[in-house]
Amino acid sequence: MQAQIFLVDDDDDLREAVLDTFHKHKISARGFARAAEALEALDPEWSGVVLSDIRMPGMDGLSFQKEVKRLAPDVPVILFTGHGDVPVAVQAMRNGAFEFLEKPVHPDHLHQVVLRALKMRSLQVELTNLQHKARATLPLEERLVGRSKAMRFVRRDIQAVAPLQVDVLIWGQDGTGKTAAARAIHDLSPNAAEEFVVVNCSAVSQDTIERTLFDEGGAVARASGGTLHLQDIEALSDRLQAQLLRIFDGPNAPRVVASVSHKPEELLAGGKLRSDLLYRINVAQIELPPLKERGRDVFVLLDHFIQRAAARHGKSQKAMPVPDLEALGKYTWPGNVRELRNVAEKLVVGLTVRLDDRAAAQISETYDDAMLRHERELLSNALIQSGGRKAAAADLLGIPRKRLYLRLKHCGIEE
C-alpha cells in the first residue's frame, strides 16, 4: 500500500482537485468515491492518513470514521464539513477525529494539516516498532503470561518450534493471544531481523485480500525471508486458499504462521478449510486455551494488565475489592484475554466494570448456592400461600409432610 493519503468524497471534481494538490506537494494520494471502497483497501499497519467528506451517499463520514477506528484504530481521520455541519464535526472530534476542515478549505491550510497528521502517524508507527523490538527481548514468560499448566505447554511448544524453519498453525478462540504467539515464534526464529507481516483474512473483501497478498509490494513480497502471519485463514475463499499453496515453495518464501478460531478438524469437515492447505501448513500446531480453562491465570493476568495500564496512564495501581475478584474468578470470559485486558484498563482509569448480563448471572453464585436459594424461595412462597399451615404447604408443593419438614430445616427456614 503505497499511498500516504486516502481521500473519500463522492464529488468527482472536488476529489480530483484535492488529489492534484497533494500530487503538487509530492504526497502520494488515492481517491475513493465511496467509503466502503476505502475500507476494503485499509490496512491496520498502514502509515497513512484518511480524509473524508461527512455528507456522502451510503455510508456517511461519521459512520466511516467509526469503521476506520474499528479496523485501524491508530490511523488519523480528517473530515471535511460543509457550512452548518460544525455540530456534526464536533461529534466527530469527540469520536477521535484528528481534525475537521470546513469547505472550501485553502490548499495551503489543507497541506499543513495533512503534514501534521502524517507526522503524528509516523511517530505512532515508529513507537509501535520500538515497542515490538522491546517486547522481543522480553522472556517468553512475560510475553505470554500465565502459570497454568496449559500456558506452560504453549510456551514450551513455541520455544521448540520457533528455531525451526517450518510453518505453524495456531488455533484458539478469539482473544486468546494468537497474534502474540505468532510474533513470539517470529522473534525467537533465526529470521527475527526480517519482516513480520500480519494479514487479517476476515477483515476485508476477497478481492482486496488477493491484492493485499499477491500484488507487487504486497504482504507475500514484504514478508519474503521473514514471517507472514495469516489471521483467520479459514475466511479465505476456496480459490484463494488454493492460490496460497503456491507461496510455500517459491524462492525466498516467507515462513507462514496461520491462525484459525476453531479446531482445524471441524473447519475441514465443514468445508471451510481445504485439506491440501491444512496438510501443507499444519507442520506444527499450537493450541491456545480459552481463559476460562486457565484457572488462576485470570488473577495473574489481571495484575499484569493493571500494572501496564497504570504505568501507561501515569496512575497508581488500584486494588479491586474481594467480592469483585471472586466474581471475576467465576466469570466465563467469552472475550478471553482481550476482554480481561479491557477490564484492567477500565479499572485503572476509574470506569465502572460491567460484565455481560448473562455471564453475570452465571458468576453471581455457585450451582449449589443457586439451587438452595431457589428452594428457599419456593418453600417460603408455599408457606405464605398456605397461611403457615405446613400440611397445606406440602400439598401445594406435591411432597410428603415429612419431606417438607426436612427441607425447611435444610434451608434454614426452621430449626
pLDDT block averages, 10 residues each, the chain of length 415: 81 89 88 88 83 88 86 87 67 77 86 91 78 70 92 95 94 94 94 89 75 83 92 91 84 90 93 93 94 92 87 69 68 90 80 56 52 75 76 84 84 71
Strands (E), 249-370: 255-260, 284-287
Write the single-letter amino acid at 52: S
349-387 b/e with 16+ CB inside 10 Å = b?
A: eeeeeebeeebeeebeeeeeeeeeeeebeebeebbeebe
Cell 522481543, located at residue: 136
Model pLDDT, residue 360: 42
Return the half-sphere exposure (C-beta side, CA atoms, 13 A cut-off) of residue 411: 18
Cα 123 to Cα 77, 287, 409: the distances in Å are 16, 35, 69
Residues 6+ apart with CB under 8 A from 246: none
Q: Which domains are delineated in the chain?
A: 5-131 (3.40.50.2300), 141-289 (3.40.50.300), 292-363 (1.10.8.60), 367-410 (1.10.10)
Rounded (5°) CA angle 380-384-387: 135
Cα 183 to Cα 17, 186, 255, 277, 312: the distances in Å are 42, 5, 12, 22, 22
Q: Which three cell numbers stand for residue 354?
A: 460491567
